[in-house]
Structure 1
């Protein structure tokens, strides 16, 4: 049995994966900072709903990044 040839596309994709992880991390950080700023401006009356929304966004981004990494 012959070994399959190494494809250059696999190497390039392997180099780009950390870039995507940094991009996702940066977007999450920006989202958290903007959400925290908006929460502080709204006051304590709307914090419950906003925290639920922010938590759902974090869970969705985590699940999406996990699914993208497992492909």
Structure 2
């Protein structure tokens, strides 16, 4: 009952995974900023637009909190 050998691929994936989390978080942040800008340019927003902005803010806050906790 020997332990399986450690693979170098596991170490590489461990180094790349945090990078993908940063990329996803950055893309979410950019999306929220662009959608907020678009809503502000439209003038008074409708209820659907306001819900979209609040939903985007919740997603962005969740993603940023997750990224900060993993550091």
Query: Could you state the TM-score of these two structures normalised by the residue count of structure 2?
Result: 0.69
Q: Distance in 2 between matches of 1:22 and 1:51?
A: 27
Q: Which one has the bigger helix percentage? A: 1
Unaligned runs of 5+ in 2: 64-71
- The 5-angstrom pairing of residues 48-67 of structure 1 reads 48-54=47-53, 55=55, 58=59
- The 5-angstrom pairing of residues 31-46 of structure 1 reads 31-46=31-46
Equivalent position of 2:20 in the other structure: 20
Q: Distance in 1 between matches of 2:29 and 2:45?
A: 24
Number of residue pairs matched by the alignment = 61
Unaligned runs of 5+ in 1: 63-71
Query: Could you state the TM-score of these two structures normalised by the residue count of structure 1?
Result: 0.69
